[in-house]
Structure 1
Amino acid sequence: EMQRESSSAAILPDKTKPGEKLRKEDLKFCVYSPDIPEPRNRAELMKNWINLTLDNKTANKLLWISDGGSKVCRRTKEVCPVLDGPERYEYSPQVLCKESIWKRRAYWEVEFSGWVAVGATYDQAARRAYSGMSGLGENEQSWGLCWAGSCYQIWFDCDHEDISDVPFCSRIGMYVDQPAGIINFYAVAGEGAEKEVRLLHRVTTTMEKKILSGFWLGVQSSCTLLRKTE
């Protein structure tokens, strides 16, 4: 481990088969318009909210998934009794979400305790030992944001940048506009409807593959995907 413990065509969700009706909650993601301005505040970000679910098939054996796939925790060296598989992280104590971000915008928030790297990765990025470094931000196919004790750090390709003058916040928001090649990390502070976001880091790149949200956990740490209630 590191020391840091433009198309407007209709897009069917991956899980929708030909001839199958779209679910109501999928309809708002069907058409991508490149002309919509980037969100400027939390209220605008919330219009792109997506409820994510942790994918147990990708979780390293040191991680425990609970609460219907919304919470992950790492205890000490206690191993979860699950079968190994090609999708599972072999060494990095990480887990990905089931839902991919492709030809759409999406926003989500997490609450964490302990040491957690919150990030995004391409669907095909390394997960097994033979395929290279697989930690979020340890390769050219992923990004990871963590609190390093005195400041936030953003990691990419084993290099990091300190984000100074931002106080610690246990709630992090992520916004992805895959067609535009944008990933934004936010600190989310405040109570109730008065919550506000502060941009921590902005990634601009060309994204030609599906993006997945992921988490890297240190010892005695946890992370919860927050749900938007209708």
Structure 2
Amino acid sequence: MASADLRQELDCSICLNIYTDPVTLRCGHNFCRVCIDRVLDTQEGSGVYTCPECRAECQERPALIRNIPLCNIVGRFLSTQPDQEETDIFCTYCIHSPVPAAKSCLMCEASLCDNHLRVHSKSAEHVLSDPSTSLGNRKCFVHKKILVYYCTEDAVCICIYCAAGEHQGHRVEILDEASEKSKKKLKNVLQKLTTKREETEEKIQRLQERRRKDQEKATGVTERVTALFTNIRRQLDDLEKRVLNEISRQEESVSLSVSDLIQKLEIKKGELSRKMRHIEELCNMSDPVTVLQEPDTGDLCDTEDRERHDDQVHGVGDLDVCLIAEKIHTLSDIITGLNTGIYVQEPTDILLDVNTAGNNIHISGDRKTASWSDINQKRPETPERFQYNQVISTRRFSSGRHYWEVEFSKSGSWLVGMCYPSIDRRGGQSVIGGNNKSWCLWWYNNQYSVIHDSKVIRLPDITPCDRVRIYLEYEAGQLSFYSLCDPIRHLHTVTATFTEPLHAAVCVQGGSLMISG
């Protein structure tokens, strides 16, 4: 009864057979590895995975943990059970009713129940074994004698006549001893196979984890791209409104100018009509004295006045297509933002080089944060050290596309950008942006500016943000700056032909900044 209860506990609830390579879920229920894998495969597209036993849910595909104690229990249980083909072996001599066999005689090639076993020959030639249906395989097919030896040279089982005949002089072993040796080898092979299977399981788990991370990454990229295009559509809508408003404004301005000129010309037209009528009246008069006493009519067609009005007609403004085109040129900034937004990668790891830091700048232990300090750090004077409160990165970039991000404190001002390693370390032109070997974004007094070779480009006012991204495309010769507020705003892109490797560079003028890339 206890054996039957144990047998029931070892059944997989999916296939209803005894466990094969049992694994455990987080909820504690066990299943055959193949069975639960098939169930999880069917749940792949549903977005949730459930235990077939208790319906416990999880969002990610659960890891399958091999239940080693249960594997051992199943193995021991199976080893104590007779083979299925032997459980239905009956006594050869009980012909009236089937009686289960207790032993099989290899000599007689017959199975015997307990009663027939008592009267069976006890001769050494009659070798008894557990009940079996393959008794003929235990005899030599040449001499029809029981196999008792194993020839190690020919790797075959032989009888005593084979050992004295064709296998004479060969190294032979008793079957049981040879079997034990073979079992030891098989156990070693089994151990190696078990190790390889466990390694394979680990690889499968790593690949499943990789797949999960790839799915999460794809979801993140999808969200970023969706947000990016939503932002681009908003920017395009805003740009369309601005361009159409500019066209309407110019049209209204031109229309007002033309209407004003038309009004003046209508007044002039009335005056000319009046003069024409008066002249016609003079022409129809018969009294010469009256005609001749009229003032000189030569000024009635004043050429200078006509030219002045002609100039007014030609001087009426037209639509400023250049201004409209300049506003539409903002599309290039949107496209630049599109390119950078879609190109998703991990931020470049940036570490600040303390050997280049000025003495009024404090560098954190992880070399990610730079802070203004009014206490002189008293670092040793070296050719690499900057005179002013700035520092460059240890890493240099001579190819590829890279980006890094900087987060700022609310106080102070700062400069972030990139520079050549040949930048001056002392003197007024050593500050980044103050020479032709560096480019930087400057934040001062709630205003963004871009500086290169001491030339300052003030950028349009936007909502202040405490986080910016610096994006480098070395081969394209582009260095772009972005504000990472919501939504991300492209601030400016500088274009140059880079002739040296570039270092990240920062300068703090009060406050602090932290590099997150």
Alignment partner, residue 28 of structure 1: none
Structure 1 position 225 matched with structure 2 position 511: no
- Per-residue CA shift, 1:81-123, capped at 9, x if unaligned? 3211111102x21100111111111001000122111111112
Alignment partner, residue 359 of structure 2: 61
Quick check: 2:413–2:445 contact (8 Å CA) kept in 1?
A: no
Alignment partner, residue 426 of structure 2: 128
Structure 1 position 71 matched with structure 2 position 369: yes
Correspondent of 2:453 among 136, 141, 157: 157
Distance 1:202 1:155, change over 3 A: same
Quick check: 2:448–2:461 contact (8 Å CA) kept in 1?
A: no
Superposed, 1:1-230 pairs within 5 Å as 40=338, 44-47=342-345, 49-76=347-374, 78-90=375-387, 92-113=388-409, 114-129=412-427, 133-190=429-486, 196-219=487-510, 221-227=511-517
Quick check: 1:72–1:224 contact (8 Å CA) kept in 2?
A: yes
Quick check: 1:138–1:156 contact (8 Å CA) kept in 2?
A: yes
Separation in structure 2 between the aligned mates of residue 54 and residue 108 of structure 1, nearest angstrom: 13
State the AA in 1 paired with 2:419: T
Quick check: 1:147–1:168 contact (8 Å CA) kept in 2?
A: no
Quick check: 1:48–1:105 contact (8 Å CA) kept in 2?
A: no
What's the % identity of the aligned pairs? Answer: 28
* Structure with more helix by fraction: 2
Quick check: 1:154–1:163 contact (8 Å CA) kept in 2?
A: yes
Distance 1:87 1:170, change over 3 A: same
SS for the counterpart of 2:377 is coil
Runs of 4+ aligned residues of structure 1 deviating over 4 Å after TM superposition are none
- Structure having greater relative contact order (Cα 8 Å, sep ≥ 6): 1
Structure 2 gaps of 5+ residues are 1-334
Separation in structure 2 between the aligned mates of residue 152 and residue 47 of structure 1, nearest angstrom: 26
SS for the counterpart of 2:461 is coil
SS for the counterpart of 2:385 is coil
Separation in structure 2 between the aligned mates of residue 64 and residue 176 of structure 1, nearest angstrom: 26
Separation in structure 2 between the aligned mates of residue 223 and residue 53 of structure 1, nearest angstrom: 13
Alignment partner, residue 3 of structure 1: none
Give 1:184 deviation, angstroms. Answer: 0.2
TM-score under structure 1 length normalisation: 0.73
* Structure with more strand by fraction: 1
Give 1:40 deviation, angstroms. Answer: 2.1
Give 1:148 deviation, angstroms. Answer: 2.2
Give 1:48 deviation, angstroms. Answer: 5.4
Quick check: 1:117–1:216 contact (8 Å CA) kept in 2?
A: yes
- Per-residue CA shift, 1:41-89, capped at 9, x if unaligned? 665354152010000011001111004100010122x111321111110
Separation in structure 1 between the aligned mates of residue 497 and residue 340 of structure 2, nearest angstrom: 25
SS for the counterpart of 1:69 is coil
State the AA in 1 paired with 2:499: E
Quick check: 1:151–1:167 contact (8 Å CA) kept in 2?
A: no
For the pair shown, the structure with the greater C-alpha radius of gyration is 2
Quick check: 1:41–1:197 contact (8 Å CA) kept in 2?
A: no
